[in-house]
Each structure stands twice: as C-alpha cells, then as structure tokens.
Amino acid sequence: MKAAFKFHGGVHPPTHKTESTGTPIAQAALPSKLVIPLHQHVGARAKPVVQVGEHVLKGQTIGQPEGRLSSTVHAPTSGTVSAIDLQLVAHHSGLPDLCITLIPDGKDEWIAHSGVDYKQTPHTELRHLLRQAGVVGLGGAVFPSDVKAYSNKHKIKTMVLNGAECEPYITCDDLLMRERASDILRGAEVLRELLYAEEVLIGIEDNKPEAIAAMRQAVIDDRHEHMQVIAVPTVYPSGGAKQLMRILTGIEVAAGVRSTEKGLQCFNVATAYSAWRAIAHGEPLLSRIVTVTGNVECAQNFEVLLGTPVGELVAQAGSRPDTDKYIMGGPMMGVQLPAATVGITKAANCIIASSPALFPPPLPALPCIRCTRCAEVCPAELQPQDLYWFAKANNFGKAQEFHLFDCIECGACAYVCPSHIPLVNYYRYAKSEIWAREQESQAAEVARERHEYRQFRIEREKQEKAEKLAQKEKAAAVAKAEAAQTPVATPLDPNADPDDTMQLRINAALARAKEQAAAAHPKNTEALTPQQQAEIAEADARRAQAHEMALSDAERKNE
C-alpha cells in the first residue's frame, strides 16, 4: 500500500545509502574500553550505582534512573569500572559530562536474566521492565519508552512505527528491518497492547524495497492482524514524527498539541526491537545498530556495544588518513564529535567519518535575499526567513510569535538557502536563549517568594515576641496584685456548684500554685560579695527597664 497523504515542503538531498547496505550487520569487536555516558536519554541523568574498581557483569545496572523521566544505564559487557568522571560526550557544546569507564574482561559474562510472557504480565509491570531495561527511543530523540507507552487520558487509535529513515547516509533501521523484521513486529505488538491502539501503521520510505518486503513478509508470517506496512515517498524529513503521522494518517498535529491528543503515538523500529529483547528475553539495551559510513574503506552496519569509542568503531570499517572529524547522526541534523574517544550512545544511529573532500567547509554566508525558498521546503510550514530575521536581531518575543518552537531543526531550510546562511544555528541560538530566560525568570520568581516569606516571618516573630512579653508582664502584675490582696487560700467560688468537683479541683490547684510561687526563693543568694550584689541590682534594673519598654510598646500597639 502506498501513502495517501503528503506533508508540506521537504528536500531531496543525495541519499548515499547504498554504500552501507551491501553487507549484513556485523558484530563490532570488543573495544579496549567503554565510555558510557550516564545521560543518554531525555530527562534526568542516571545516578551511578557502582564504585570505581568494582567488577560488573554484562547487563548489570550501573546507572539508576532518577525521577519519573529518566532511564537506566547498564554495563554492556562484563569488566571492571575504571573511572566515574567527566568525559567528552556527543553533544553540540563539546563539553564533558559524567561517564562510567569500563574495561572489558573479555568474558562477556551475563548477569542472570530472563524474559516474561507479555500476555500474562500486567501493563504496569511491562512498563517497569522497559524502564529497568533502559529502553528509549532509538530514532535519535532517546525519549524513555516506558513514559511513551502509556495512554491515560487520550485514547490512542493509531500507533505509527517509524521505519522511514529519511536522513542521508543512515541505513541502520533499513538493515534491522531486513534482518530482524519479526522481532521488530513482536515488539511493536507489545507496545500496541500497552497503548491499547487499534492499528499499527509501519511507514518505510520507498527507497528501501528490501526492508518493505521483509516487513510485509513478517506481518503475513506472524499473522499480525493490526499491522500494515506502508511505503512512503522518499523525501527528507519524512521520518520526523509529525511528518510521518501526517503522511500515514492525514492527521496534522498542530502547534503546541501532543500527538497523543490526536490519538497517535510514534515509535522507531529499533525501539520496538529493543523493547522485544527486553520483555521477551530480559535483555536490557546494551547495544545498537550503528551505520559507519562516509570516508571509510568499507561502509557498513555494526551491532555496537554502547560506550564503544567512536575511533575504535570507525577503525573496523577501515578509517582513511584524511578523516578530519566525525559526525554522529546524519549530515543534516548530526552532532560533530569533539573527539574520537567519545562513546557510542543510545542516540547514535550513524557515524560519518568526514573529510574535507566529502564535506567541504560551508561557503561564506551572503545576506538573505528573502527568496523564501526556505519557506517552500519547511516541513513545519514556518517562515524561516522571518525567524532568521528575528533571531538575528535578538527579537525573541517575535520569533516565538512566529512559532519558533515548532521548528524541528531538520535543516531543510539551510540546505536550500542560496545564501548559505546557517539558519538552523540561528534557531537553536534563539531557542536556547529563550529557555535560559524562562529559567531565569522562574528563579527570580522563587527568590521573590522566598524573600517575601522571610520578611513576613521576621515581622511575625517580632510581633509574637512583643506579645509574649506583654502577656508575661500582665500576668506578673496580676499575680502581684492578687498576692497583696489575699494572702490566705482562695475561698471557693461562691457561684460554683458544690457538687461540681472539677471547679473545686481547679480552685484548689490555683491556690497550690500561688502558694508555691510565694514560697519560691532565688537560690545561692547567701554570702554575696558587694560586687555581685551590685551586678545583680544592675541586671534587675535592666530587666525592669526592658519590661517597661515592652509594656509601653504593647500599649502603643493596643492604641
């Protein structure tokens, strides 16, 4: 079946996919060390739960999720933890982040693990298993799958399985679908059950006929009634979640609306595969398929342990001496790696070895001529030329008005720009500035609240102190007056009912207390030196003065 709908815009960059599809998925060799970042997913960073020097087994949890939106990190093979420190990671900033370095012992010894029958297992348990297995979206967004595989308020009608893989050079999903179609579909079936979705639409770009055939065959073989494989036209970025949903269902997810509100949810094929491995075999996410391509001798796909240093991985595909940098992801949206020591993460679908010949440095940018070719290709139907204008002028309010946050940073606008303006960089700059300001104003709000509460508290404490002092003073005055008046025991209240023993008891207790107060004497006051006497008198005078001040204070307040 062919897709019936289209999304706006899109571009047709050279796909460069055939280079890496000639050979089947190869198992990457065990590297000399693994650098495993603890923040490989959307949400909070995982908390390390191992010590340096500790021996860990394959599949053992080394990073525990923190908070609702987080994921687990595991040891991809058995070995010894050699360091838990800041290491360079695959991030646009080129800044280091907390990583666990593991030296493999070569035994590849598994921790005890076993799968469950998903049909017999409650859904909350299945979601917990996904979280414990560290399953996140492997299409590149790395959003924790247990959070996504849950539909509470919104009924999910259609689950979209994303096998479009629209970005040039990347073929990892293609090969996975060719070789492991039935496991992908089983995983998709689990996710469908979790969402109570009625149907699963599998979108695959029509430049992958082998994958489409394999998936269709698997649907027939395994009798998946709710599933349908749909060939979608090859146009970048058809693999964007909202774009693929639009192609497959015709439903447009508007700005600021979640796809779940429209009854849609989207998973990548590799996510479905790893969900199946986690549920049915108890295997956490320890490795992923990575396309190694670009300036290498033999471009191909590898099954790579997470944390494998990029340099060691590229060497297995035959690195060439003129390689000057590495790109993680595709040429349109990828991250340029700060070093070859960076470890493969869950988001790393492709490593492109780059050379000046392959990716020549960008041409110098010329002024924008407002040709609006960017607007023609923008899949989010934005006005990139206006967004560029506002971002350049730091006019962030206006950029937001023009829906800057609907930009998916696909790079189609920059690709077609005849002035070679790095448009996406401007949008990213504007977005991160807006986020930073948002955070600052939130922090200011908190500080204001705390400051106001502190002032309120200080005022309250002052008042309470004054009131207490005044009350004490009053009570003392009353007691003095009473003691002067009635040195004898208080007579019974004439109005009190003689049978009311409670009243009698209260009166008796009052009398006792008064007697005790009268009997109390200051201790250690015998044999005082004249100097001590003088000090005591001075202190008494001070106290009296303070009482007077407090009294007059309270009186003034009463007035």
Partner 1 sequence: MIAALLVMIGIAVFLGAVLGFSAIKFKVQGNPLVDKIDAVLPQTQCGQCGYPGCKPYAEAIAKGEAEINKCPPGGEEGIRKLADLLGKEFIPFGEGAAPKAKSVAFIDENICIGCTLCIQACPVDAIAGAAKQMHTIIASECTGCELCIAPCPVDCISMLPIGEDITNWKWRYPVFPIRATI
Q: Which residues bind partner 1 (CB under 8 A)?
A: 39, 89, 91-93, 95, 97, 362, 364-367, 422, 425-426, 428-429, 431-433, 436, 440, 443-448, 450-451, 453-454
Find the shortest distance in angstroms from Cβ 427 to partner 1.
Answer: 9
Q: How far apart are CA 36 and CA 97, in angstroms?
A: 10
Nearer to partner 1, 230 or 306 (CB): 306
Nearer to partner 1, 55 or 448 (CB): 448
CA-closest candidate to residue 361, choices 392, 391, 336: 336
Q: What is the DSSP string of 189-212?
A: HHHHHHHT-SEEEEEEETT-HHHH
- The sign one gets for the Cα dihedral 266, 272, 278, 280 is positive
CA distances from 281 to 12, 133, 271, 453 (A): 40, 11, 15, 54
Q: Residue 481 burial by CB count (10 A; 0-12/13-18/19+): exposed, middle or buried?
A: exposed
Nearer to partner 1, 42 or 251 (CB): 42
Beta strand pairing status for 79-88 and 96-104? Answer: antiparallel
Other CB atoms within 10 A of residue 419 CB = 16
Nearer to partner 1, 79 or 338 (CB): 338
Nearer to partner 1, 447 or 541 (CB): 447
Q: How many CA atoms lie within 13 A of 439 on its CB side?
A: 6
Residue 24: cis peptide before it, omega within 30 degrees of 0: no
Find the shortest distance in angstroms from Cβ 247 to partner 1.
Answer: 30
Find the shortest distance in angstroms from Cβ 349 to partner 1.
Answer: 20
Q: Which residue blocks in 31-132 are alpha helix, DSSP H? A: 123-132
H/E stretch holding 375 reads: helix 373-377
Find the shortest distance in angstroms from Cβ 382 to partner 1.
Answer: 18
Nearer to partner 1, 298 or 434 (CB): 434
79 bridge partner residues: 56, 104
Nearer to partner 1, 366 or 475 (CB): 366
Find the shortest distance in angstroms from Cβ 90 to partner 1.
Answer: 11
Residue 14: cis peptide before it, omega within 30 degrees of 0: no
Other CB atoms within 10 A of residue 14 CB = 8
Find the shortest distance in angstroms from Cβ 452 to partner 1.
Answer: 8
Nearer to partner 1, 56 or 90 (CB): 90
Find the shortest distance in angstroms from Cβ 42 to partner 1.
Answer: 13
Q: How many CA atoms lie within 13 A of 9 on its CB side?
A: 23
Find the shortest distance in angstroms from Cβ 365 to partner 1.
Answer: 5
Task: Tell me, rounded to whole angstroms, the distance of Cα 453 from its chain centroid.
Answer: 31
Nearer to partner 1, 461 or 548 (CB): 461
Find the shortest distance in angstroms from Cβ 143 to partner 1.
Answer: 17
Find the shortest distance in angstroms from Cβ 81 to partner 1.
Answer: 22
Tokens found for residue 557: 């307040």
Nearer to partner 1, 445 or 548 (CB): 445
CA-closest candidate to residue 291, choices 15, 75, 76: 15
Q: Residue 301 burial by CB count (10 A; 0-12/13-18/19+): exposed, middle or buried?
A: buried
